[in-house]
Amino acid sequence: MDWTMWVEWVLKGFVLCLILLTGFAYLTLYERRALARMQVRVGPNRAGPQGLLQPIADAVKLIFKEELTPGHVYRTVFILAPVLTVVPSLIIAAVVPLGSSFMMFGREITLYIADLNVGILYLMSIASIAVYGIVLAGWSSNNKYAMLGGVRSSAQMISYELSLGLCFVIAIILGDSMNLNEIVDAQKGMWFAVIQPAGALVFMIVTLAEVNRAPFDMPEAEQELTAGYHSEYSGMKFALFFMAEYQKMIVICMIAATLFFGGYREFWFLKDTFFSVDQNWFLGPIYLLLKVIVLLFFMIWIRATWPRIRYDRLMSFGWKFLLPLSLVLAFVTATGILLADMFNNQLYFWSIPFISIFILLVAVSFIYRDLRRKSHGRF
Amino acid sequence: MNSDLIVFLVLSLVAISSALGMLFSRNAVYSALFLVLNFITVAVFYLLLGAPFIAMSQITVYAGAIMVLFLFVIMLLGAENLAPGNSLPWQKPLAGLLSTILAVEAIYILFSRARSDAVITAPDASLNTMESLREMAMTLFSDYLLPFEVTSILLLVAMVGAIILTRREKGGQS
């Protein structure tokens, strides 16, 4: 282990943090502009051309805001909570491959920080740690609204983590590995979103709940809890929560792209052309960026169009719909691959997408029936 | 002195002080947080021993799931602060006696083992690959299939029990 390796790691970590931080800044602009378009407004367009300097103006505003620490809070935890929220959202990106590798200064430089053989478990463990920041922010504020926001979010994140884990299982089964690089390589021929479309859909829904985005933004439901867990925060401490939320959005889209949409790989039908990552390494990050932008657009679109779901329905949706559905989907995927291996017949493998879409439709029809029965007042 | 040893010593310092912090802090939330720190330190120990799967499971299951539930209960019950008085007078001498016995036994076994030549070594670093994960899964689902299934049935029973306990009975007072 020579010193150039250390330099490489430190530089790559630094660059990744920079990417995520600027990504956060421009995601706020992207969201505001896109939301404005959907609501027939213009959005922020004054600072710089097309409002491109708006994030800098926002940052200056937040830095110069007065920072208030209320007298009744638990001080240590109150200061620790924003840090505990931001750190997981940064370090979770360490295992996500941004591209293949290239040669520079006579050594091979890979476009990922850590090549863990338990990469998916690493994602799981960091995701389960991430809940602490919000819970502790709620508790240390010593305020009933903030507390309720924190408790709600912990219940929500624990509930949806189960389905998240099962969606990870689907990707593990399909990729035959827990290493994210190998999962991306396994999608050379076909994206997992094509083989298991229902699984990809469930994964996207669950991640919305995991990062507390609309329509699952329970911890900060304004009409019930004022601002939820960050009611008592102001200035840069509030900005850290804000930052963590948007970074989580970016990272979770990177993970979704990696697990189900081919990661940094090109479309499968461009495999041996000029546009392939195997022939031009610099296309890898560009493809990933494009996929992340498209997935982020879906998140913003959902926020613009869907009302917030009621809390009891959120819980029953997680436990009674998503959990059984993702269990069945994991079972179908495993069975399909096993049968295809046993009888050496690819027909079984290609029946996976059709069967899983059928199962999804059956589950949705159950929800539809349930809602109709409720609206007629019969239980 | 190699770098692993330095990391080990620093980590053990963190582990022991976080365990002591858990014992002696008067606020239940701080205790829970110290315990989380302890669990994460133990996970890093597993990493040092070349067992990344167990390390990650340790963080996910203990630091992630179980301790969040602990915090949840502490916050919901509002039982953060311990009452100043000692309600169980016989508890302290009993705990002291039992922990002395445990310490003596541990030290005895440590020294009696140290005299024999059986040295516990860290597993080979070359086992730290995907193959070891695969082998572990194979062992778990072939040789240890029965215990595995029994455990899952146990968990299922616990889950059903929890649902039945919290279910509102029809017609009864809510």
Q: What is the pLDDT of residues A99-115, one digit of tens each?
A: 777 767 667 777 777 77
Closest-CA residue of B relative to A151 is B72
Residue A135 to residue B64, Cβ atoms within 8 A? no
Tens digit of pLDDT per residue, chain B (174 long)? 577 788 888 889 999 999 998 888 878 888 888 998 999 899 888 888 777 888 888 888 888 888 888 888 887 777 666 666 656 778 888 889 999 999 999 998 888 776 665 555 555 555 555 456 777 788 888 888 899 899 999 999 998 998 888 887 666 554
DSSP codes joined into one string, A288-317: HHHHHHHHHHHHHHHHHH-PPPPHHHHHHI
Cα distance between residue A57 and residue B25, in whole Å: 44
Please tell me the predicted confidence (pLDDT) of residue A210: 83
Which domain does B69 fall in, by range? Answer: 1-84
Cα distance between residue A78 and residue A341, in whole Å: 54
Residue A151 to residue B75, Cβ atoms within 8 A? yes
To 10 degrees, what angle do helices A3-38 and A235-260 make?
Answer: 100
- 8 Å CB contact between A188 and A271: yes
- For residue A325, is it within any domain? no
Cα distance between residue A165 and residue A323, in whole Å: 10
Question: What are the angstrom distances between the C-alpha of B90 and each of B63, B86, B87, B99, B170?
Answer: 32, 10, 9, 14, 45
Please tell me the predicted confidence (pLDDT) of residue A312: 79
Residue A151 to residue B72, Cβ atoms within 8 A? yes
Q: Where are the alpha helices (DSSP H) in chain A?
A: 3-38, 54-63, 75-91, 119-129, 131-140, 144-175, 180-186, 192-195, 197-210, 222-225, 235-260, 283-305, 311-316, 323-343, 346-375
Q: Please tell me the distance in Å from B129's CA to the nearest CA on chain A.
A: 6
Residue A117 to residue B128, Cβ atoms within 8 A? yes
- For residue A117, is it within any domain? yes
Which domain does A136 fall in, by range? Answer: 8-41+62-309
- For residue A108, is it within any domain? yes
Cα distance between residue A324 and residue A166, in whole Å: 10
User: CB contact, 8 Å: A125 with chain B?
Assistant: yes
Residue A122: which of B33, B56, B64 has the nearest Cβ?
A: B56
- For residue B40, is it within any domain? yes
Give the predicted TM-score (pTM) of the model: 0.82
Please tell me the predicted confidence (pLDDT) of residue B133: 75
CATH code at position B60: 1.20.120.1200
Question: What are the angstrom distances between the C-alpha of B1 and each of A235, B5, B7, B62, B126?
Answer: 46, 7, 11, 32, 23
Cα distance between residue A188 and residue B25, in whole Å: 54
Residue B63 to residue A128, Cβ atoms within 8 A? yes
Please tell me the predicted confidence (pLDDT) of residue A372: 80
Which two tokens mark B98? 């039992």
Residue A179: which of B56, B65, B130 has the nearest Cβ?
A: B130
Q: Please tell me the distance in Å from B118's CA to the nearest CA on chain A.
A: 31
Please tell me the predicted confidence (pLDDT) of residue B125: 55
A132 vs B contacts (CB less than 8 Å):
36, 68, 71
Indicate the residue type of A280.
Answer: N
Q: What is the pLDDT of residues A243-260, one digit of tens each?
A: 888 888 899 888 988 888
- For residue B151, is it within any domain? no
Q: Work out the average pLDDT over A317-329.
A: 88
- For residue B3, is it within any domain? yes
ipTM of this predicted structure: 0.78
Q: Work out the average pLDDT over A7-31.
A: 86
Cα distance between residue A35 and residue B100, in whole Å: 65
> Each residue of A167-189: b (16+ CB within 10 Å) or e?
bbbbbbbbbebbbbbbbbbbbee
Provide the number of structural domains found in chain A: 1
Q: What is the pLDDT of residues A111-140, one digit of tens each?
A: 777 777 788 888 888 888 888 888 888 888
Indicate the residue type of B139.
Answer: T
Residue A125: which of B36, B59, B72 has the nearest Cβ?
A: B59
Provide the number of structural domains found in chain B: 1
A291-300, A325-334, B133-142, B153-162: lowest mean pLDDT where? B133-142
